[in-house]
Structure 1
Amino acid sequence: MSDDTIRLVTIGRIFRRRWRLLVIVTVVGALVGFGASLLFPPSYTTSTSVLLAGQWGERELLTQAEIAASSAVVDRAAATLGWTGVGGSELRDRVSAKAADGNIIKISGTADTPERAGRLSDQVAQQFVTFAARIAGDSTDPEAAVRPEALRQKVEQAGRRITELADAADPGRTVEGVQARTELEKLRTALQEAMKKLDEADPAANKANMVVMGPAARPAGEAPPTRMQLIVAGALLFFLLTVIGHLTAARMSRRLRTEPEIAAALGSALLGTVEVPGERAAHRPEGRGPQARIRRRLGLDTRWDTPTPQTSGDEAGRQLRYRRVCARLRDQLPVPRRLLVVVPDGDEIARRAAGQLAAEAESDPSPSSSSRGYPMLRVVGVSVERPMVPDRDNESGALVVLSAGSWTAGELAGIAEACADAKHEVVGIVLAGTVRARPTRAAGHPPQHAAPAFAVGDDARGGSA
C-alpha cells in the first residue's frame, strides 16, 4: 500500500488525465438515473390540516397523529374513494400524519396525480374527524355517560334555588341581608366556573371538537425523488465512485517508487538518475485492435498517477547525467567489458533513456586513453511476465534501466533472477524520469542519438525465471 497522502493535487491530476473517462462515466450514471426514474412513476404529495380545539398535551397530539394514519381510518378512506386496484394496504404506505404547532394534525397523502393526492388527504382527514367523534361518543359504561348530564341538571337546580333565596332575602335593608345576597352570588359563580372547568376537562368533548381547515392545496410539483433528482444523483454517484476507485487503486498500489526499495528488489546499487524529454506520444504503449483504440480514446493507455514532469535545465545538463553514469560504470568495472542494458518491456521512458545511455557510451572520445573508456552497452527488452535474458556471450554483466513507480518488487525480483540464470551479474541500476524540455535548444549542441534495436526475448538464449 502506498503511503502517499491523498492531496488536492492528486484529485486534480485525475481530472486532468482522466477527464474523458469521467465524462463518459458521468453520462452513463445520468442514463442509469433516467432509467430508474422510468421504474418509479412520478408521485405528488399534498397535506390537509385538522385543528384540535381545547387543551391537548404533546403525547395526546402524537396519539392523535398515530390514529389519523392508522388502518382503521385509512381503510375507511379507501372504501369511500373506491379506486380500482387500490386498497387500504396500498394507501397505508401513501398516508402519513404528524403533529404540528398549535394543536394541528397535518395529514399528507401521496398519489400518481395531483387530483388524487388532494382527494386522498381530504378523505383521510374527514374519516379521522368522524372516527375521533365516534370514539368520543362511544362508552362501555352507560351510567358514566349519564353522570355528567345529571350533574349539570343538579347545578342548574342549585342555581335556581340560589336565585330564589336571593330574592327572598332582605333587599338591602340590613347588613345581614346584604351579606347573605353576596354569599349567594359567590356560590352561584363558583358553581358556574366548576361546570365550565368540568366541560373543558371532559376528554369526550375535546376529542369530538375537531375541524378540517379547508381542502388540500394542489401540489406544485412532483414529490421527491423527481426524475431530475434521480438523473443528477446517478451522474454524481458514478462520478464519485470513479474518482474514489482511482484513489483506492493508487493507495493500494505496490509499485516501488523510492530508490532504496528498487535497489533492494534488484539486489544492486543505484548508479544515478537520468532524464528524458517528455513526449506524449512516446509514453503510449503500442497496441492495435478495437480495445487498444478505445483505451487510447479514453486516455487509459497511460498512467495518471505519475508526477507532472519538471522543467529541464537544458540538453547539456541532461547529457552530463548520462556521462556521469557511464563514468561510474567505468570506475566500477575492473576492466573494460561489454554489458547488457536490461529494460522492462512497456517502460518507454526507460527504453529511451537506455538508448541515449548506449549512444553516450559509444561516443566516448578516448576509449584507448588512461581512462580505459566507457563499457560497450547493448540494450535488450525483458518481459516482466516471463523474464528472459540472453546468455553470456560477449557481455559479462547487466545494467538495469527502469522508471520509478512502474514495477512491483516481485516483477523486479523476477528480472534479477533472470539475469542470474543467464550468468549476468547486475552491476548497477539507473532510474529514468521525464522532464519538460525547453522550447529552444542550446546552440551548437548535437541532436540526440537514435536508440539501438532491441534484442527480442524469443531469439535470446537463456533460461527463464
Structure 2
Amino acid sequence: MSDDTIRLVTIGRMFRRRRRILAILTLLGALAGYGTSVLLPPRYTATTSVLLPGQWEQRELLTQAEIASSSTVVDRAAATLRWSGVSASELHGQVSAAATDGNIIKVSGTADSPERAQRLSDQVAQQFVSFAAQIAGSSTESDTSAGPEALRQQVEQTNRSISDLAGAADPGRTVESVQARTELEKLRTALQDAMKKLDEADPVTNKGGMVVMGPAARPTGEAPPTRTQLIAAGALLFLLAGVVGHLVAARANRRPRTEAEIAAALGSAVLGTVDVPVERHAPRTEGRGARARFRRLLGVDTRWDVPAARTSGDEAGRRIRYRRVCARLRDQLPPPRRLLVVVADGDDIARRAAAQLAAEADRSPAPSSSSKGYPVLRVVEVSASRPTVPDRGAESGVLVVLSAGSRTAAELAGIAEACADGGHDVVGVVVAGAVRARPARPAGTPEQDATAALAGHAHASGGPV
C-alpha cells in the first residue's frame, strides 16, 4: 500500500479488519471527553440588546461594540455586582459585544449559572449605556463656545443687528433704501434656515439616548461546548487519530511485495508462487506470551492493508503449482536432492505452504514417470528477528518460503545471512499467497496431508546466535 492511492475501499477494509481497536479508541476518546466535561464546569450565556437610535456608520457601530466590552464598562459592572470569588479580570473574559444589523449592539455575559449570566449581561448593558452617555455629555461641555448653543446666541445678536439696520434705513424714500431693506430680510431668512438645519443635524440630539431593549432572557441550556459535544468531539478525535495512524503506518510500510523485490532481498530467484486456501474466519496463528494475547484481544494480530484473498481454483489446480515447484527443484539440483525449507516464525501462510510442498515431494511418482526424483524437503522455522539455520549436513541448499509483504527487506537479508553462516546456498524462493477456499471439500484434502507431513518432519526452533 506504500505506493498506492488511499481509496474508500482501503478505508472500508480498515474498518472491517480493525473494527475492534477502532471501537476501543472511540470509547477511550468518549471517556476523555467526559473527563474533560467533568473538569470544566457548565457555562451559560445570556444576551442583552442595546439600540442606538439615529444614523450610524459601520465603523462607529464597531467602536461602540468595543466600548461595550471595554475594561472600564466591565470594571463598573463588577463593582456593582460584587460577586465573591470573582474578580474584574475574570469577568473580562466572560463579556463580549458585537454589532448587528439595525444599529443594535448585542452584549453577552457568560457565568456558571443562568441567573448570574442574566445579571451579568444586563449590568454590562446598563453600564455601557451610562458610560456612552457620559462620553457624549463631556464632549459637548468641553467646547461650549463652538457648540450649537453659542451659535444660536450669535444668530440672535445678528438678527437684532439686522433689525437695527433696517430701522435706521430711510423707509422707502429711495430705491437704495428699499434694496437694502430687502437684502437684510433675505439675510435674516437665510440665518433662520441655517439654524433649523443645524438643529436637525445635531449629532448629540440624533445619536444620544441609547436604549436597553429589555432584560436578557434567562438561558435554558449550557453554552458550547456542552458535555455531549465534548464526548462526541473526543470520540471523533480518537477515531480519526486511529485511522490516520493506520494509514501512516501502512504508507510507511516498505516490506517487499513483488517477486523481484523478494528475490533481490534474498539474493536468489523466485521458483514460483503457490496458493494456500484459508477460511474467511480462519483461526489466527497462536502466539505466546502476554503481548500476543493482548494483540489478539485488540484484533491487531492480523494485517489489514493486504487486499482481500481472491477465490481459489480447484484442488487440482493448486496441486499443479506445488508439483511444478518440485519439478524445478529436481531439474536444478544434482543428486542427492535434499533441501532445507526455511520459514519465518509467525508466517502461518508460508508455514502451511511449506508443509504442503513437503507433502507433494513425499508423494514419490512412479518409476516410469518423468517426474521421478523429487527432492526430499525438511521444514524448519527460524526467528525473523535473529534467525539461526542448522548447519549444513546432507542438504544441497535452502529453499525459502514466505508470503508476500510479511517481512521487511532487512529481515529477509538476515535470513539469507543466517543461511550463509550455516554453509547453505539459497537455491530459490517460493512465494505463498492466501486464497479463499471453496465451501465444500472432498475427503483427504491436501491440507490434511500437509499437516501430517509437517508433523513428520524435523523442526528447528529459531533462537539467538
Question: What is aligned with 2:172?
Answer: none
Q: Distance in 1 between matches of 2:103 and 2:188?
A: 33
Tell me how far 1:366 sits from its aligned partner.
Answer: 2.8
Equivalent residue for 1:411? 411
Distance in structure 1 (CA, Å) of the matches to 2:163 and 2:314: 120
CA separation of 1:367 and 1:125: change in aligned 2, threshold 3 A: farther
* Cα distance, 1:161 vs structure 2: 8.8
Residue by residue over 1:376-428, the C-alpha shift from the partner in whole angstroms, topping out at 9 and shown as x without a partner, is 11101111111111111121211000000110111001111111111111111
Q: How does 1:173-252 map to 2 (within 5 A)?
A: 190-199=190-199, 201-252=201-252
Aligned residues: percent identity?
A: 73
Structure 1 equivalent of residue 400 of structure 2: 400
Q: After the TM superposition, which residues 33-432 of structure 1 pair with which residues of structure 2 at under 5 Å, given as runs? A: 33-139=33-139, 144-148=143-147, 149-155=149-155, 190-199=190-199, 201-279=201-279, 284-288=284-288, 290-366=290-366, 371-432=371-432
Distance verdict in 2 for CA 1:389–1:445, change over 3 Å:
closer
Q: Which residue of 2 aligns with 1:20?
A: 20
CA shift in 2, pair 1:449/1:333, >3 Å: same
Task: Tell me, in whole angstroms, the C-alpha distance in 2 between the residues paired with 1:224 and 1:280.
Answer: 46
- In 2, Cα distance between equivalents of 1:281 and 1:104: 66
Tell me, yes or no, if the aligned pair for 2:343 and 2:354 is still in contact at 8 Å.
yes
Instruction: State the alpha-carbon separation in 2 of the partners of residues 416 and 367 from structure 1.
Output: 35
Instruction: Using the TM superposition, give the Cα deviation of residue 102 of structure 1 relative to its aligned residue in structure 2, in angstroms.
Output: 2.2
- The structure-2 alpha-carbon separation of the partners of 1:344 and 1:445, relative to structure 1 and needing over 3 Å to count, comes to closer
Q: Is the 8 A contact 1:21 1:299 kept in 2?
A: yes
User: 5+ unaligned residues in a row in structure 1: which ranges?
Assistant: 167-175
Would the aligned equivalents of 1:283 and 1:349 in 2 still touch at CA under 8 Å?
A: no
How many angstroms does 1:264 deviate by? 0.3
In the aligned structure 1, how far is the partner of 2:303 from the partner of 2:206?
74
Alpha-carbon distance in structure 1 between the residues aligned to 2:363 and 2:291: 42
Residues 330, 375 of structure 1: 8 Å contact kept: yes
CA distance in 2: counterparts of 1:291 and 1:418, whole angstroms? 27
**Whole-angstrom CA distance in 1 between matches of 2:162 and 2:52:** 36
Deviation at 1:195, TM superposition (A): 2.6
- The more displaced of 326-335 and 22-31 is 326-335
Q: 24-33 vs 435-444, which deviates more?
A: 435-444
Q: Tell me: CA distance 1:139–1:2, structure 2 relative to 1, closer, same or farther (3 Å).
A: closer
SS at match of 1:395: coil
**Displacement of 1:274:** 0.5
Q: Partners of 1:389 and 1:369 in 2: how far apart?
A: 34
Amino acid at match of 1:65: A
Q: 1:13 to 1:447 in 2, by over 3 A?
A: closer
- Using the size of structure 1 for normalisation, the TM-score is 0.89
Shift of 1:370: 5.2
The 1-side partners of 2:183 and 2:217 are apart by 56
**Paired residue type of 2:312:** S
Normalized against structure 2, the TM-score is what?
Answer: 0.89
8 Å Cα contact 1:132/1:207 also seen in 2:
no
2-structure distance, mates of 1:97, 1:246? 45
